[in-house]
Amino acid sequence: MLDGGETLYARLGGYDAISAVADNLLPRLMGDDQLGRFWAHRGDDGIAREKQLLIDFLAHNAGGPMYYTGRNMTLAHKGMRISESDWSRFLGHLNNTLDHFNLGEAERNDVLGFIESTKSEIVEA
């Protein structure tokens, strides 16, 4: 809960808004020359499942009613060789997605702060 008692989930617009962000962000990542390798040779069903896990993860961690059933970030990303450069490109796409939705400054800072808190679990040194 934050200042007005509203969760970040509510301030972002709930499930539909988080789903729309995933719908906008994933094609950006998949089409990126450097990051696209993480989705190469993946079937549509696997990508759809991954997208749903992303939505559930974000909604759950933003204080929403979703229950995240996926693995923790360390286990989910282990062995993918995600570099600092990959992380920076991801953040660029995320910021472009947030710009697309004209996310308010407080919400943007909260979203980016949360995403940054996962970096050590995702990026391999």
Give this prediction's pTM.
Answer: 0.90
Average pLDDT over residues 84-92: 98
Cα–Cα distance measured from residue 125 to residue 121, given in angstroms and rounded to the nearest whole number: 10
Report CA 107 to chain centroid distance, whole Å: 14
Specify the CATH number for 8-122; select among 3.90.1640.10, 3.20.20.150, 1.10.490.10, 1.20.1260.10. Answer: 1.10.490.10
CA distance linking residue 43 with residue 48, whole number of Å: 9
Alpha-carbon distance of 31 to 39, in angstroms, equals 9
Give per-residue pLDDT as tens, 32-80: 999 999 999 999 999 999 999 999 999 999 999 999 999 999 999 999 9
- List, as own/partner pairs, every contact residues 82-86 make where C-beta atoms lie below 8 angstroms and the sequence separation is at least 24, other chains included: 82/38, 82/122, 82/123, 82/124, 83/123, 83/124, 84/123, 85/34, 86/34, 86/35, 86/123
pLDDT of residue 1: 44
**Domain assignments of the chain as residue spans, ordered by start:** 8-122
In this predicted model, what pLDDT tens digit does every residue of 89-111 receive, in sequence order?
A: 999 999 999 999 999 999 999 99
Consecutive H or E run containing 7: none
